Amino acid sequence: MIPERLILFTLGGEELALSLQQIGEVMEPQRSYPFAGAPAHYLGLINFHGNLTALVDLALYLGLKSRPLPGKLLVLDPRLAHLALKVDAVSAIIASDLVTGEEPGDGPLTEAYLETPRGRVRLLQLEALISGLEEGLSQSPPRMQS
């Protein structure tokens, strides 16, 4: 089922989407603090309205070409996770009635491919993304600080 409204964003030249209802805020990058022992795609922790929130380089996690900051941060609805995703840019917010075609996704992180006025867009499966990030973090071996 296609969400009522989608937020479209770019990563490594690819256009992706999430349900707008899953996003708490879009913000400019801010200072992050190291997250010892975390996998490389964790850029650190940020202060999001008084809550420590993990910042993830989504391109790096998905195996796409990562670009240095700036970019934008998609902060998830805190009821879902205290997580912010670094993306290259936010390109649009569109209503589901503008989607003209849908194909099933080809992996656990891709819910569907959608035909939109901006072209073909990969709709991410946020629950699978959060689960994968949590699993990767729990399997990350602790590192000693030098």
75 inside domain: yes
pLDDT value, residue 70: 84
91 inside domain: yes
Contact between 93 and 8 (Cβ < 8 Å): yes
Strands (E), the chain: 5-11, 14-19, 23-27, 42-48, 51-57, 72-76, 83-87, 89-95, 101-107, 110-116, 119-124
CATH number, domain at 94? Answer: 2.40.50.180
Boundaries of domain holding 88: 5-137
123 inside domain: yes
50 inside domain: yes
Total domains, the chain = 1
Structure tokens at 143: 């590192």
87 inside domain: yes
63 inside domain: yes
pLDDT value, residue 141: 63
Consecutive 10-residue runs of the chain (146 residues): their mean pLDDT? Answer: 92 94 95 88 93 94 84 95 96 95 94 95 95 86 54
- Phi, psi (degrees; rounded to nearest 5) at 49: 50, 45
82 inside domain: yes
Mapped onto helix, strand or coil, the DSSP state of residue 141 is coil
20 inside domain: yes
**CA-CA-CA-CA dihedral for 41, 131, 99, 121, to nearest 10:** 30
The dihedral sign for the CA sequence 82, 23, 104, 39? negative
